[in-house]
Amino acid sequence: MVQDSRYDPLFEPIQIGPVTAPNRFYQVPHCTGMGYSRPQMLAAMRGIKAEGGWGVVCTEYCSIHQSSDDLPFPHASIWDEGDIVNLKMMTDAVHAHGALAGVELWYGGQPAANLYSREQSFGVDSVPNNSVIGLPRQTQAMTLDDIEQLRGWHRDAAQRAVDAGFDIVYVYANHHYLLSNFLSPETNSRTDEYGGTARNRVRLIREIIEDTLAVVKDKCAVAVRYSIPAEITEDSDELIKMFEIIAELPDLWDITVTDYGLEMGSSRFVKEASNQAAVAKIKSMTSKPVVSVGRFTSPDTMLAQIKNGTQDFIGAARPSIADPFLPEKLSQGRLDDIRECIGCNVCYAHNSLCVPIRCSQNPTMGEEWRRGWHPDRIAVKHADESVLIVGSGPAGLEAAVALGQRGYAVTLAEAEMELGGRINRECALPGLSEWARVRDWRLGQLAKLPNVAIYPDNRLDAEAVLELETQHVIVATGASWRDDGVGRYLSSPFDGCELDSVLSVESILDGKLPSGSVLIYDDDHYYLGWAIALKLREAGLAVTMVTPEARIGGWTSYTDEQKQHMQTLIAADVKMLSDLGLVSWDGKAAQLECVFSGNVIEVETSCLIPLTARLPDDSLWLSLQTDKDKFKSLQRIGDCAAPGIIATAVYSGHKAARELGTAESKKELRRDRIVATRLEPFA
């Protein structure tokens, strides 16, 4: 029973071929950074989604054969009996909560480096590998026999999917992998029956859909992932024609747009439901159910997708990561409890870094199995003891919420009038408004906790902390940006850092605007230099950005924002210089050295803003060390301990709250691995 009947359509069961989804909440295939090497972490994480009410829960891309190997990126695999056993852990976890389990069968082709298997990857033609690492090798151009072999591999994988207990089996025909390369005339120059006309180029996808239907029979539904441009133009004609040929073949269509920067766009550049015109076009051309993503965070936007006929399911990856219990909370009328995705793409970044994903909003993401953390449940307090938290940035707010939910008597003291710490200043910058959700969700939760007392405009020193006579003290006083240039490139302050024309990042965040031209020396390589540059350009100032790295904002390549990051700076007429390290500043010009040759150039400007490293604001914690025996525990968390990204601060606060009064901090991290019992002899 849904508390608010307006949302009833979102909870209607819907048929997908031979299976029925219990509702319209559909976690589409998304990367996890876990893959085949961490099957227990993967199964627990997907199972939590099903417990939270997602009616369909899918794997990430799942390799069908050893010649489709994406290492170092951690993909799933369905090569053999061992994979069936591992994947069955996931399907069992999903089925335990009444949801359907889907598997995305994948063959990489040109982007697959095969660094693990060392197999030669098949391609439409023989073309250079275009993976992120850009391996200097080429694909093997497929013969007709190779195509038949590929079809056989896909049929075998489909059968293994049935054996593993999946309910939905995907044919993966987009994202520039092998099957999508057959579709495009830019990547398919074949002159046989698989090239040339639109009908020929879609032939292999049609055959594999038919093969998969024949293998799974009435046991599973068959889904196809397919892309068309976000804006329907004449250039879309061929993709539309090919879709028309196969529109009624599968049981479900999972539709994306051809521009991955739009499909996976961060909130800095792409807003909710930005690509739905393309989805509606496909929906109008098939009788089969359609699902698509749009980083849906608003229940009303979700409802509109169903009511206006744009799609049949609410597809989600990032919103299901930020809140695995989004559907359940919506059904219970707990809309204020939904942790909305902020669109920072930190989840995607960590898969890009080849490690398990994490989330700025949901600190339990990836910790379901190895730490036993549940996103909506937490152990009660160990004793009737009090906790003082000093500082209300992302770490302090998260700790206060979690400790309040555990039942402790919590006092939260904040030096400023407004709670939120760094979030307050950063979300006021261009493109970062949705990041305020990190603060706002936690303030909303604190308002429901009568055992948490909040004292803004209270700057506590060590004496004041001692006077409160609390049993546990958590210091979350954040960090401040350095203004002396010390960071990755410089290990000591630059000459001239003491001059008045050197402006600190802190002053800019506090609202101070310089006059004249500005040089931002960006040795942080993430979003903040970009946001400050745009803020200064909006104020009409001439801005030059300099970095010792090869690209401005290089870390945004992991969040898949690099292209849009650069495009917006170029559009704003920000001058950019790379591979230059800061040497000195004389008040009128910056002396910069080439990181390769050491040659020095000068760039004249009115003021310099060094964006390098941060200093933990840990003076309170240090001053309490002499009296630490007066507390049952004293700790520092978040940026106060080790400055980092917002997700790291939130995790730090949550971990401190989970472990307070328990032995959890002394437990070894639970490792997901296969332990060999013996060495197999050579044949």
CATH number at 470 reads 3.40.50.720
Domain identity same for 11 and 88: yes
pLDDT computed for residue 276 by the predictor: 86
543-572 tens-digit pLDDT: 999 999 999 999 999 999 999 999 999 999
Q: Please tell me the predicted confidence (pLDDT) of residue 611.
A: 98
The number of domains in the chain is 3
Same domain, 586 and 622: no
Answer whether 179's CB lies under 8 Å from 107's CB.
yes
Same domain, 592 and 637: no
What confidence score (pLDDT) does residue 616 get?
Answer: 98
| Domain at 595, CATH number | 3.50.50.60
Helix 39-51, helix 81-95: angle, nearest 10: 20
The answer on 631 and 511 residing in a single domain is no
Q: Are residues 302 and 425 in the same domain?
A: no
Q: What is the pLDDT of residue 237?
A: 82
**Which residue range(s) make up the domain with 423?**
386-478+618-662
* Residue 503 in domain: yes
Residues 6+ apart with CB under 8 A from 105: 62, 64, 78, 154, 157, 158, 161, 169, 170, 171, 172, 212
Whether 204 and 292 map to the same domain: the answer is: yes
Looking at the structure, do residues 330 and 463 belong to the same domain, yes or no? no
Q: Are 409 and 506 in the same domain? A: no
Question: pLDDT per residue over 590-612, tens digit each?
Answer: 999 999 999 999 999 999 999 99
Is 683 inside any structural domain?
A: no
In a domain, 633, yes or no: yes
The pLDDT of 625-640, averaged and rounded, is 97
* Band of residue 1 on the pLDDT scale cut at 50, 70, 90: low
510 and 428 share a domain? Answer: no
Q: How confident is the model at residue 680 (pLDDT cuts 50, 70, 90)?
A: low
For residue 85, give the 3-state DSSP assignment.
helix
Q: Is 361 a domain residue?
A: no
Q: 174 and 67 in one domain?
A: yes
Q: Pairing between strand 140-141 and 122-123?
A: parallel
Span 627-634, average pLDDT: 96
Domain boundary residue, one of 336, 352, 368: 352
Q: Both 654 and 591 in a single domain? A: no
Residue 31 lies in a domain: yes
Instruction: Catalogue the active-site residues.
Output: 177
**Strand pairing of 168-172 and 221-228?**
parallel
Inside any domain, residue 568: yes
pLDDT at 631: 97
Q: How far apart are CA 481 and CA 487, in angstroms?
A: 10
What's residue 664's pLDDT? 75
Element (H, E) at 651: helix 646-659
pLDDT at 277: 85
**How much of the chain exceeds pLDDT 90, in percent?**
91
Q: What is the dihedral of CA 297, 299, 302, 303, to 10 degrees?
A: -170
- pLDDT tens, position by position, 157-198: 999 999 999 999 999 999 999 999 999 999 999 999 999 999
> Are residues 230 and 268 both part of a single domain?
yes
The pTM of the full predicted model, rounded to 2 decimals, is 0.96
pLDDT value of residue 30: 97
The pLDDT value given to residue 677? 58
Task: Flag whether 370 is in a domain.
Answer: no
pLDDT tens figures, 385-398: 999 999 999 999 99
**Above 90 in pLDDT, residue 540?**
yes
Residue 133, pLDDT score = 82
Residue 681, pLDDT above cutoff 80: no
- pLDDT of res. 612: 98
- How confident is the model over 328-340, as pLDDT tens digits? 999 999 999 999 9
- Is 369 within the bounds of a domain? no
Q: Domain holding 311: CATH number?
A: 3.20.20.70
Whether 676 has a pLDDT exceeding 60, the answer reads: no
Give the model's pLDDT for residue 675: 61
The secondary element (H helix, E strand) that includes residue 444 is helix 437-446
Evaluate if residue 321 carries a pLDDT over 90.
Answer: yes
Q: What is the mean pLDDT of residues 673-680?
A: 63
